[in-house]
Amino acid sequence: FPPPPPGLALELGLGALAEAARTRLRGQERPRGPGSPPLLSEATAERLVAALSRARGAALKLGQFLSMADSSVLTPQLQRILARLRQSAEPMPGWQSRAVLEAELGPGWQEQLQEFQNVPVAAASLGQVHRGRLRDGTEVALKIQYPGVARSIGSDIENLLTLLSLSPGLPKGLFAGPSLRSLQRELELECDYRREAQSTQRFRSLLGSDPFFRVPRVLPQLSSRRVLCTEWGRGGALEQCRELPQERRDQICSELLRLCLLELFQFRFMQTDPNWANFLYEPQSNTVTLLDFGACREFEREFTDLYIEVIKAAAERDEQKILSKSQELKFLTGFESPALQSLHVQAVLLLGEPFWGAQPFDFGAQGTARGVRGLLPQMLRGRLVPPPEPSYALHRKLGGLFLACAHLRGRVRCRELFQQVYEEYWHPKNRETPGAAILGCGTPNLPGPQTLWDTRPCWDSTPC
């Protein structure tokens, strides 16, 4: 997906480091030119892993994201290391989770529940999830934040930045600092479960009439800044859909791409966490339930106006337009060498292949990750500026979508989907009332956070 890898700075930068680790660990390191230092030494790799293992929220979130990459990006050694990170999210003891619940909801919190399971069903980077049942029989999920995790994020990121600064031979164009700072801001926002509750309600409003996607209802009476209660999501993990019939996998992948395009170009409000565990597929109803709206963000129209034109240029293989729009978006300065500009165009065309290649596009047969990885060393050495801030979260989401479709071996008519969204985006009726297109209704602005805790209907006039 365009723009190219510069927006995927941290993931793709570590992908390049993983390739260096692959050749070094296997004793197959090839010459990289006179005086070129290795991108990552074995000792530095071990220090990096040690730092990630010691950290909590930031490290586990990063490891969770990187663990989704395929074997063309991560070496078997690094995959095993990242698997250890995923398994290291040890749950809180029962007394501690109950202490958080009492501090946040009051001593009578359990009176609202018919059942509460002390053993969590999941333990992630920022908190853990327990299953429960209301007095009326409604099954619910209670997400409880780890004590102190919000305060630890800043120090975790500082540790990673320090470690990277001590790593010899890192390419100057990696720009790990801005990428990690962006991740820090996002994680700190994710720690506010009231904000996540409001984002969940907003997506429930936006997708209320959608035939394929479901968003669980928020239970405000059991929610606070560090506790979030929603209806229990039905379905199985997306990665378990790999053995479904081809037609069903094609439909799932097509719907995921449709949702992503809607989020970016119609709602201009996106859930940017690429974790596949946030999608639960229910085969009986043939629907997907969406979970975890902590990593949501807005996109300004100025950004999306240019971004949609970069994708359009890639779909039409218009190299000059790719360069000009990339400069307007601040991915390029205009002072890059002709060689780097050419690499940039190649990367955009590689990532934009779903929109210009044969249709339906076969994600299972494409070699995009391998092709992009081949361009990375030169791009990271010659890049002059970090990518624009909105692209960090956006490209994590797009990268996760791309990998999910590849994992499911989906075949999608990407060009047709994009063309429909493109025509709708530039239609005069959607340019006259900027706020209405975001909400999918005539309301130009969302209500304040206090509305979430009311028992009145939501802003789309339908009960939440």
Q: What is the pLDDT of residues 177-235, one digit of tens each?
A: 898 899 899 999 999 999 999 999 999 999 999 999 999 999 999 999 999 999 999 99
Catalytic residue IDs: 273
Which distant-in-sequence residues (6+ apart) come within 8 Å of 20 by Cβ?
Answer: 29, 38, 39, 40
Q: Rounded to a whole number, what is the largest CA-CA distance in the chain?
A: 72
Q: Kindly state the helix (H) or strand (E) to which residue 114 belongs, with its residue range.
A: strand 113-116
Tens digit of each residue's pLDDT (9 = 90 or more) over 303-324: 999 999 999 999 999 999 999 9
Q: pLDDT tens digit string along 388-442? A: 999 999 998 998 899 899 989 999 999 999 999 999 999 998 876 544 443 333 3
Please tell me the least confidently modeled range out of 113-117, 291-295, 460-464: 460-464
C-alpha torsion 30→160→1→325, nearest 10: -100
Pick the residue with more confidence: 4 or 357? Answer: 357
Q: Please name which of 262, 282, 263, 281 lies closest in space to residue 272, comparing C-alpha atoms.
A: 263
Length of the chain: 464
Beta-strand relationship, 113-116 and 127-134:
antiparallel
Residue 13 confidence class, pLDDT cut points 50, 70, 90: very low
Side chain identity, residue 179: S
| pLDDT (0 to 100) of residue 353 | 94
Residue in this structure with the two tokens 């500026």, named with its chain if needed: 385
pLDDT for residue 423: 96
Distances (CA, A) of 284 to 230, 231, 236, 281: 22, 19, 11, 9
Q: Which of 379, 384, 392 is nearest to 185 (CA)?
A: 392
On whether the CB atoms of residues 82 and 66 are closer than 8 A, the answer is yes
How confident is the model at residue 69, as a pLDDT? Answer: 58
Could you write out the DSSP letters of every residue in 307-346?
A: HHHHHHHHHHT-HHHHHHHHHHTTS--S-S-HHHHHHHHH
For 332-395, strand residue ranges (E) read 361-362
User: What pLDDT score does 36 carry?
Assistant: 41
pLDDT at 136 over 90: yes
Most confident of 140-144, 177-181, 456-460: 140-144
pTM: 0.81
* Beta bridge partners of residue 362, listed in sequence order: 411
Q: Check residue 432 and give its pLDDT.
A: 61
Is 50 exceeded by the pLDDT of residue 139?
Answer: yes
Rg, the chain, Cα only: 22
CB 261 within 8 A of CB 418: yes
pLDDT at 400: 87
pLDDT band at 156 (very low <50, low <70, confident <90, very high): confident
Average pLDDT, the chain: 80
Is 31 buried (19+), middle (13-18) or exposed (0-12) by CB count in 10 A? Answer: exposed
